[in-house]
């Protein structure tokens, strides 16, 4: 096994049901379909299949549908939350956004795109944390990069 393969081999994988057990988001605001935990509580890849049926495309924009950048950032955060809150020691916790910084949007996300959401924890604690996220279209073109911080609270 090559070094690259070893790095990308998931420790565990969360399907939609496991994601729904880890985080409180539901349709139409659940923005991640699958999560691969690459390094426990440190690094994860999320996946979102963007379809023309997404509710946000009704108003953004009907003639030229583009996924809102803030929802790409939300999908990155949901990937981080699924990784963190899906671990047994985080049972009974919720994560709330505290800040978003260094956000850059580089390419539009449109119907038919497959978003790969790469997150890495920069800092974690019992009450808060900070992560870096990058969203790629079809695993190749960077659509967005950002850093975000969050607070951990009891449900």
- What number is the average pLDDT over the span 30-38? 97
Residue closest to 134 by CA, chosen among 155, 154, 148, 153: 148
pLDDT level of residue 7 (50, 70, 90 thresholds): low
Please tell me whether the peptide bond between 28 and the residue prior to it is cis, using omega within 30 degrees of 0.
Answer: yes
pLDDT at 2 over 50: no
Residue closest to 75 by CA, chosen among 114, 42, 39, 38: 114
- What number is the average pLDDT over the span 55-75? 96
- Residues marked as catalytic: 60
User: What CATH number was assigned to the domain covering residues 3-154?
Assistant: 3.10.129.10
The reported pLDDT for the residue numbered 8 is 67
pTM higher than 0.85 for the full model?
Answer: yes
Return the percentage of the chain with pLDDT > 70, whole number.
Answer: 95
What is the residue extent of each domain of the chain?
A: 3-154
């Amino acid at each position: 096994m090559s070094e690259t393969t070893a790095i990308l081999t998931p420790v565990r994988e969360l399907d939609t049901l496991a994601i729904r057990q880890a985080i409180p988001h539901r349709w139409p605001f659940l923005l991640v379909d699958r999560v691969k935990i690459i390094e426990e509580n440190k690094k994860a890849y999320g996946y979102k299949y963007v379809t023309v049926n997404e509710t946000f495309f009704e108003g953004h924009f009907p003639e030229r549908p583009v996924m809102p950048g803030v929802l790409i950032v939300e999908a990155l955060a949901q990937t981080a939350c699924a990784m963190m809150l899906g671990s047994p020691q985080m049972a009974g916790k919720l994560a709330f956004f505290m800040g978003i910084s260094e956000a850059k949007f580089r390419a539009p996300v449109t119907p038919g795109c497959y978003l790969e959401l790469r997150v890495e924890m920069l800092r974690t604690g019992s009450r808060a944390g900070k992560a870096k996220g990058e969203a790629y279209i079809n695993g190749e073109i960077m659509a967005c990069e950002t850093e975000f911080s969050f607070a951990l609270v009891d449900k």
